[in-house]
Amino acid sequence: MPADADHSGYFALRDQLLGPLRTTVLTSDQLCEAGRLIYGDPYGLSLLGVPAPEMTANGITLLGRTAIECSVDSCVIPVVDTLAALQAVTAPEGPDTANPLIVDLFCGSGNFGHHLGQRLSRPVHASEFDSTVYNITRKNLDRVKSEVQLHLLDYRDLLDRLPARSTHDTYVVEPPWGPAFTAHGLDLTRTSPPVPEILDDIRRSRNGLLCHIVIKTSDQIAHNSLARSFTRARHLTTITPDPLLPYGTNMNFHLYELNS
Ligand SMILES: C[S@@+](CC[C@H](N)C(=O)[O-])C[C@H]1O[C@@H](n2cnc3c(N)ncnc32)[C@H](O)[C@@H]1O
């Protein structure tokens, strides 16, 4: 039987990264161990195009919390490609169709915004309100010469600064899960802040113009909360990376068109 076939190492690591190591900069060995336990391979934990075994040499640092909360390259790139393909076949509408917004509202590592900007060749705005996460992400983005414009801001303040431009405006919505992540699945009405509240904040900033939303969930949703959060929205597609972990702990990525 493989060393971590029952995933006990994963669950112990998860508790460490969200607990005592939450605000600790991980060592190279810890980064590689996180890659192995979460993705089955140290190279699976890859952000901004830099895999865990090469992070330290490239000046990339990660806090414990971000190592578990982040969306890694192998997950983000298919989502970004799918969004690009969807937007390529629809004509945008709105006051500034040439310059659609990309906004990574809860950016953490900034990896989603980074890949979206690269793939769509557009400027990206990202908000992160935790100054420790912000400082590390700022440095990492600089190391890879990312053009993401990172703001030390609450997402609501960033929304206030970015009026709607086009129906291709895209918002990444990945708030912390905290107590929303339960044995019965992820309850999107209990994230911090709750997803329905975030979607209402986005709507308020848009004067009725449609937009695209990218959201990550686990593969088990509690209380039908994904559908209940996106009642005034059209589901476009869901991308399901190969499941590596037990049911309930794998990631799914959903694309929606948000209505007013
Ligand atoms: C789940 S993580 C995001 C992970 C990210 N998508 C990545 O790939 O690394 C959520 C992040 O949002 C930040 N955050 C939480 N509430 C926020 C708020 N009101 N405004 C801006 N950032 C917030 C947290 O500090 C945390 O770093």
The tens digit of pLDDT for each residue in 17-33 reads: 999 999 999 999 999 99
Confidence of residue 3 (pLDDT cuts 50, 70, 90): low
Q: Are the C-beta atoms of 158 and 172 separated by less than 8 Å? A: no
Task: Assess whether 150 and 220 both reside in one domain.
Answer: yes
| 110 lies in the same domain as 55 | no
In a domain, residue 3? The reply is no
Work out which ligand 1 atom sits closest to the CA atom of 109: 9
Indicate which CATH number applies to the domain containing 88. Answer: 3.40.50.150
pLDDT in tens, 52-92: 999 999 999 999 999 999 999 999 999 999 999 999 999 99
Same-domain pairing of 178 and 224: yes
- CA 237 to ligand 1 center in whole angstroms: 23
Check: CB of residue 228 under 8 Å from CB of residue 190. Answer: no
Shared domain check, 60 and 95: no
CA distance 39 to 186: 20
**pLDDT exceeds 80 at position 2:** no
- End-to-end CA separation in angstroms for the chain: 52
> Using 50, 70 and 90 to split pLDDT, how confident is the model at 122?
very high
Residue 192 has pLDDT above 90, yes or no: yes
Rounded to the nearest whole angstrom, what is the distance from the C-alpha of residue 139 to the centroid of ligand 1? Answer: 17
pLDDT on residue 248: 82
**Do 130 and 218 fall into the same domain?**
yes
- Residue 140 and residue 125 share a domain: yes
Domain boundary among 50, 69, 88: 69
Q: Is 66 in the pocket of ligand 1 (CB under 6 A)?
A: yes
- The closest alpha carbon to 86, from 167, 147, 159, 164, belongs to 167
Q: What is the mean pLDDT of the chain?
A: 96
The answer to whether the CB of 109 is under 6 A from ligand 1 is yes
Q: Of ligand 1's atoms, which has the minimum distance to the CA of residue 133?
A: 27
Cβ neighbours, 10 Å, residue 161: 12
Q: In this structure, how many other beta carbons lie within 10 angstroms of the beta carbon of residue 41? A: 15
Question: How many domains does the chain contain in total?
Answer: 2
CA of 195 to the centre of ligand 1 (A): 13
Same domain, 39 and 100: no
2 assigned to some structural domain: no
Q: Are residues 18 and 115 in the same domain?
A: no
For residues 160 and 50, state if they share a domain.
no
Domain shared by 83 and 174, yes or no: yes
Question: What confidence tens digit (pLDDT) does each residue in 134-159 have?
Answer: 999 999 999 999 999 999 999 999 99
Residue nearest atom 13 in ligand 1 by C-alpha distance: 106
Percentage of the residues of the chain whose pLDDT score is greater than 90? 90
pLDDT band at 4; cut points 50, 70, 90: confident
Task: State mean pLDDT over 37-62.
Answer: 97
| Domain of 205, in residue numbers | 73-258
pLDDT for 1 equals: 43
